[in-house]
A and B are shown apart, each in its own frame.
Chain A
Amino acid sequence: EAGVTQFPSHSVIEKGQTVTLRCDPISGHDNLYWYRRVMGKEIKFLLHFVKESKQDESGMPNNRFLAERTGGTYSTLKVQPAELEDSGVYFCASSQAPSYEQYFGPGTRLTVT
């Protein structure tokens, strides 16, 4: 069974540009999460989808970040416009109730120059 996949693995963009990260959860998993680790900091929760609905987006840093999960399958996280402090690794995870275990993808390394 394929695990959580993320695309791209690495993205380098200039400040002010737009970037879209994609996450494909494990097939059948209703729960999808985004986390990120910015340089030197801890991994922080961004938001949680249940199917196509945003259940908790309390961790989203500001309105430059937009997450979507149309159709309840894959999810995208768009950063527009990107700022230098957005550089870091963005992780996606998925899970399926009643299991509490979150399966993480390998992450997308975003570098904003």
Chain B
Amino acid sequence: LAKTTQPISMDSYEGQEVNITCSHNNIATNDYITWYQQFPSQGPRFIIQGYKTKVTNEVASLFIPADRKSSTLSLPRVSLSDTAVYYCLVGDNFNKFYFGSGTKLNVKP
């Protein structure tokens, strides 16, 4: 199982782009990278998933370099409502997610 390492916390200001990087040096060939977001008193919520290169949806972008040993979640123009914990999950079993400690993002006005 690939271990993931993320910053414990990050601060940002409204309107800025936020990039959260996750390290997963032992990622396996079949593993995908999935990011979840969690607000206080709520369950985690899916943001984006990718295998390689770049994935973009209406919420975020996910950048994965060729060696796949890391990935970066990019949130464009964050607002106060983006204050949450962001989890990077790596694995090939979509029926059994492993959550790490996550990154607590604090968006300031």
Measuring CB to CB, which residues of chain A are less than 8 angstroms from any residue of chain B? 4, 31, 33, 35, 42-45, 48, 55-56, 58-59, 91-93, 95, 100-107
Contacts and interface: CB of A to CB of B under 8 A. Distances in A.
B46 A101 contact: yes
A102 B99 contact: no
A43 B100 CA distance: 7
A6 B45 CA distance: 15
B45 A104 contact: yes
A104 B41 CA distance: 12
B contact patch SS: loop
Contact of A56 (B43, B44, B45, B96): B96
A100 B94 contact: yes
8 contacts: A35-B99, A43-B87, A48-B95, A91-B43, A100-B32, A105-B43, A106-B43, A107-B41
